[in-house]
Amino acid sequence: MNSYLQSLIQQRQDADLYRTRLRHSGPQTPTLLIDGQAYLAFCSNDYLGLASDPRLKRALQDSVEHYAVGSGASHLITGHTEAHHDLENALAAYTQREKALLFSTGYMANIGVITALVGRQDAIFLDKLNHASLVDAAILSRAQLHRYPHNNLSTLARLLAKSTAPHKLIVTDGVFSMDGDIAPLPDLVELAKTHQAWLMVDDAHGLGVLGNTGGGILEHYALTAQDVPVLMGTLGKAFGVFGAFVAGSALLIEALIQSARSYIYTTALPPALAETVQTSLKLAKKDSWRRQRLQELIRYFRKAAAQHHIPLMDSFTPIQPIILGESQKALAVSAALYQQGILVTAIRPPTVPQGSARLRITLSALHEENQIDSLIKALVNVL
């Protein structure tokens, strides 16, 4: 086995696709401490800056005192506490849906809901830039898998029209995690209605960020639960904690409780985390200044980048990629930024398509203009 594993690793190294982990020793803030040195970080998904909020820390500490640490069992045995149930109710209210169901991670939520909804005789339609967990879920479901070019609705319409599957499921990211652009949801809603298909949205990067109250991509477009019956969201990005959920009708959630294997056969989230997320939801909704500040910083960054002829993609979200092409170049630029005290991750295939390796810059409501100035200056030096 060792020689085989070594050959796999060597292949990745030879192709400039070898992954490494940086270790930092402090809270999740715009400044990270690595090997005793402070780095400006522009690669976290802590969009609202809630991960280090003292109110969340206090909520976690208080909840640990009450519930202790582990949940001890799955939700269907003895792992489902009042904290979990209250959070599910809070998530349903936050997303304006009848019910919500907690999962341990976004990956597990996507696996659970898709494999519960469709099977071998059915068809699933995915945007080619959807998150890997959605692709894996589609493969595991054994449904007929159709992948359409990014946001290409004419191709999707043709695929839907040709399909004779008894059940059709369209699945899209709300905000595409590597490009930062958004799905044309109103058009997808109409396509789903025309072709009697179900529509599911993974809004991991939209919830908390988009919409006046942080309702995500659906609030941005003023869409309802009737338009998008299946909504997945995560709790470790804008909400700053951990976990994921699926929200929809009471019937959908009951079906998932009965059939979603990644919900049934795993230990429930620690109850203290569930209680902490309830505090986070309140802050995310109430602290509208966080979204306003984030949008100010996005505009500031994009204006400065344009002034220095730094090419950006069309994105008004906190995700601001710079396409560099080959993996070797992306790694070299990321390393050069690191030498200047700036942390921006190089994203390479298979996370993104071949020839589109990039820097994935992400902004937080806690960043300051002078920090963005430092990033721009460093980018000018290395690009």
Instruction: Give catalytic residue positions.
Output: 177, 205, 237
Give the integer Cα–Cα distance in Å for 365 and 291.
7
Give the integer Cα–Cα distance in Å for 146 and 149.
10
Cβ pair 24, 336 in contact under 8 A: no
Owner of token pair 């820390």:
57
**Both tokens assigned to 194:** 């025309």
Give the integer Cα–Cα distance in Å for 1 and 196.
49
Give the integer Cα–Cα distance in Å for 140 and 115.
7
Give the integer Cα–Cα distance in Å for 230 and 253.
10
Cβ pair 283, 352 in contact under 8 A: no
Whether the bond between 311 and the residue before it is cis, its omega within 30 degrees of 0, is no
**Residues in a beta bridge with 305:** none
Give the integer Cα–Cα distance in Å for 90 and 101.
11
Give the integer Cα–Cα distance in Å for 297 and 317.
10
For the beta carbon of residue 49, count every other beta carbon within 10 angstroms. Answer: 21
E strand intervals along the chain: 31-34, 37-41, 99-103, 123-127, 144-148, 168-173, 198-202, 230-234, 244-248, 319-325, 342-343, 346-347, 357-362
For the chain, give percent helix, strand, coil, nearest 5.
45, 15, 40
Instruction: Please state the φ and ψ torsions of residue 162, each to the nearest 5 degrees.
Output: -75, -25
